[in-house]
Structure 1
Amino acid sequence: METKPYLIFKQNGLLWGVAVGCVREIFFLPELTPIAQAPQAIVGAIDLRGEILPVMDLNLRFGYLWQEYCLTDSAIVIEWQEFRVAIIVNEVSEVKHIPEEAITPQLSYARDKAEASHDFLAGFARCGADIIMLLNLDSLIRYSPHKTEAEMPVSASGAGSLAASDKVEGKNFQLEIEPKLLAEDAKVLSQPQLFCPNAAPEEKAIFRERADNLRLLGDRENSAAINMSLAVVVLNGEYFGINLEVVREFTDIRQVTPVPCTPDRIIGNMNLRGEILTLVDIRNVLNMSADTKSLSKAIVVEIEDLVVGIVVDEILNIIYLNVTELATIPAALNSANREYLQATTFYEEKIIAVLNLQKLLTKGGVVVDEEV
């Protein structure tokens, strides 16, 4: 049975999928720089390691009302043929391998096929109890209604619908526009050209820090300095950093099967798209109290031939550091912890302990030696 991997994300409470082969990278939404005379759905740009990349708001692209952005929003960098663009999504979930026979290309709405020529949907996928809408990247990136500003309605009066004249390839046709959509369109067009104007000062600072990290990473890559990217996670209220070089993916925890006759740090096994993933809790190795009552998130790491899921309370952010920003382990830390910590740094005025996962997994008694 042939399958194809899709990156699944949530937008407005709905599940969407985009082909993994077109995804270049994912990061939390940074501060955007507004662009003059850009299409309505392009809400700004970012400096991604020296490349100025346009950022698309899916809500506006789909014709929905503009919404305030949140710190939990993410940006997915898409490359389609010669085009590269980042799309804003509410939450990135996981990668799913979807069989071809589980995909329905189109749904019939008893309408003229010509109306669907700019459909942003490539199909619908059945995944258990979920229906996932698959993006049509060609239409999403390329389609334009060929509408000038002079032809765009900004107000409507009376009931019913308003007929607006448009031209395509020299031919006139009538476009039916509901007054409600016109009102929303006018509200979108009146949005201030400022990024998150209603955000709290601390939220603006985080958005700005993310943008600086993306930009500075390019400067560091062009220098002789050695760089490090970390996933910032929370364990029992304390912040830790995990080197992204060993991180394969982030995933939700569900349907854990306990493994008998194993140390208590082995939570159990989970089916991850057909792969049996062992979940481990590293807190007791770090002399922290373990709490497995609320298992929600795991970071899948791969070190040499070992693949395990590290259970965490929360995944906060991805940060980029120069090694000069790392400090040695304070002597005040418990000696049992020091062996498995690589360095410390700061994140939002809090100390992050950077984990030495390779030593922790191989020498910390986390991995069970199956040899007798």
Structure 2
Amino acid sequence: MSNSNGQGITPPQLAPPEIAIDNDNEAEGHDEQQPISYLLFESRASLCAIAANAVSEVLLLPEIAPLDGAPHWVGVLDVRGRIVPIIEPGELAGAAPRRVQSSDSVIIIESERGPLGLIVEAVSDVRLLWPSEIEIAPERLTVGLARIDGELVRLFDSPFFARFAQRHNGPNEIVPARHFAPDASPFERALFAGRARALRADANITATDSYAPSLVAVRLGGEVFGFELKWVREFAALPTVTPVPGAPSDLLGLVNLRGEVVPLLDLRPALGLAMPDDYGSQITFVECSGVRLGIAVEAVLDVFAPAEGEMLPPPAASGLKGDAVTAAVFYGDATLGVLDLCNLLKRGGWTEREGARML
């Protein structure tokens, strides 16, 4: 991989494992008398945290481009025109590589050396900790340990991670990944690739541009619909559904997503579609306005990015309720309706955090 001047991207000089790490909290710029905000996340099934003031954004895991000569990096990612090195904390600590999941996230942290991304299993919360609540831990990667809601949390050292970042100036060139997530299913690989395309596309969008976002195609009520990939958290086979007595017709029940209870919705009533007893065998987990929901579908068919000019106005008479379909797009030999998914969920009251409709 090289930039436009023909100069290769040189991996940073990494400290050997035996080097002593300074775990002084002052390195993170904190006042010892003030509480510190930490972003909580899961890494290798352990609860961890990093100073929130070092975090610029959190992304769903996209396809990562491998880079030769950088053994501590998983690879690099083009985030709106910036080359961001990506690491996985477990591998950095010496653990064997793990199989990535479509539900994984990338936490982007910023430093004077440039941005760096951490692959984690889930991001959960932001919490305040007083310095008196933090116990110094003589571990590599950490500044200390704390207990949050009775659970032990490793507090990662963002200045240490910053040593693995590198400022890369000038035009950037990304080589398409060939070996990222080799154990992923074809659908997962398409999902990772779609997320990466969406990130790269963001760099070229101006206020006067129109663009086609990456879409997920699903079969619902015997018809094919699409909605934007940005709302999707993950896909799964339909798990055991726990019915809710007296629930509205669009609530099929509750499902368990790795310990989190999530409402499972049926969009067919909102769309005015036929409602046979079989509502599908797959579930799409989406997140809208900070609320996570499951949507039952008959099948997840594809993740794709429509080419320029393929997005069309919605059909004048679609036979669906309201303005659920906001556009149409060519898909194979036909067209599919593009749902404004988040607006559809908001109109149904499902993005209300208190969950008053459900219980």
Shorter-chain TM range is 0.5 to 0.7
Q: 1:78 aligns with which of 87, 103, 108?
A: 108
Query: Distance between the aligned counterparts of 2:162 and 2:133, measured in 1?
Result: 22
The superposition leaves residues 165-191 of structure 1 with CA deviations (integer Å, 9 ceiling, x where unpaired) of xxxxxxxxxxxxxxxxxxxxxxxxxxx
Give the 3 Å change call, closer, same or farther, for CA 292–102 of structure 1 in structure 2.
farther
Please name the residue that 1:58 is paired with: 89
Give the 3 Å change call, closer, same or farther, for CA 52–106 of structure 1 in structure 2.
same
The superposition leaves residues 184-213 of structure 1 with CA deviations (integer Å, 9 ceiling, x where unpaired) of xxxxxxxxx963485579466665554444
Deviation at 1:52, TM superposition (A): 1.6
Please name the residue that 1:134 is paired with: 155
Q: 2:142 aligns with which of 96, 120, 137?
A: 120
Deviation at 1:309, TM superposition (A): 5.7
Please name the residue that 1:49 is paired with: 80
> For structure 2, which runs of at least 5 residues remain unmatched after alignment?
1-34, 166-176, 235-241, 255-261
- Are residues 1:215 and 2:200 paired? yes
Query: Distance between the aligned counterparts of 1:312 and 1:122, measured in 2?
Result: 40
Please name the residue that 2:57 is paired with: 24
- Are residues 1:355 and 2:342 paired? no
Q: Max radius of gyration: which structure?
A: 1
Amino acid paired to 1:98 = R
Please name the residue that 2:327 is paired with: 343
> What secondary structure, in the 3-state scheme, does the structure 2 residue paired with 1:8 have?
strand
Tell me, yes or no, if the aligned pair for 2:62 and 2:192 is still in contact at 8 Å: yes
> What secondary structure, in the 3-state scheme, does the structure 2 residue paired with 1:335 have?
coil
Deviation at 1:239, TM superposition (A): 5.5
> For structure 1, which runs of at least 5 residues remain unmatched after alignment?
145-192, 251-255, 270-276
Tell me, yes or no, if the aligned pair for 1:282 and 1:310 is still in contact at 8 Å: no
Deviation at 1:84, TM superposition (A): 0.5
TM-score, normalization by structure 1:
0.55
Query: Distance between the aligned counterparts of 2:197 and 2:88, measured in 1?
Result: 21
Higher helix share goes to which structure?
Answer: 1
Number of residue pairs the alignment of both structures matches: 291
Amino acid paired to 1:241 = F
Query: Distance between the aligned counterparts of 1:31 and 1:308, measured in 2?
Result: 27
Q: Matches of residues 185-224 of structure 1 in structure 2 within 5 Å?
A: 195-196=179-180, 198-199=182-183, 202=186, 207-219=192-204, 221=205, 224=208
* Identical pairs, percent: 19
Q: CA RMSD in A?
A: 5.5
Deviation at 1:32, TM superposition (A): 0.9
Q: 1:301 aligns with which of 265, 288, 291?
A: 288
The superposition leaves residues 135-159 of structure 1 with CA deviations (integer Å, 9 ceiling, x where unpaired) of 2212222389xxxxxxxxxxxxxxx
> What secondary structure, in the 3-state scheme, does the structure 1 residue paired with 2:60 have?
strand
Query: Distance between the aligned counterparts of 1:51 and 1:15, measured in 2?
Result: 29
Amino acid paired to 1:285 = A
Tell me, yes or no, if the aligned pair for 1:41 and 1:58 is still in contact at 8 Å: no
The superposition leaves residues 200-233 of structure 1 with CA deviations (integer Å, 9 ceiling, x where unpaired) of 79466665554444333323x1594223546748
> What secondary structure, in the 3-state scheme, does the structure 2 residue paired with 1:324 have?
coil
Please name the residue that 1:14 is paired with: 46
> What secondary structure, in the 3-state scheme, does the structure 2 residue paired with 1:284 have?
helix
Query: Distance between the aligned counterparts of 1:200 and 1:279, measured in 2?
Result: 26
Higher strand share goes to which structure?
Answer: 1
Please name the residue that 1:157 is paired with: none
- Are residues 1:282 and 2:312 paired? no
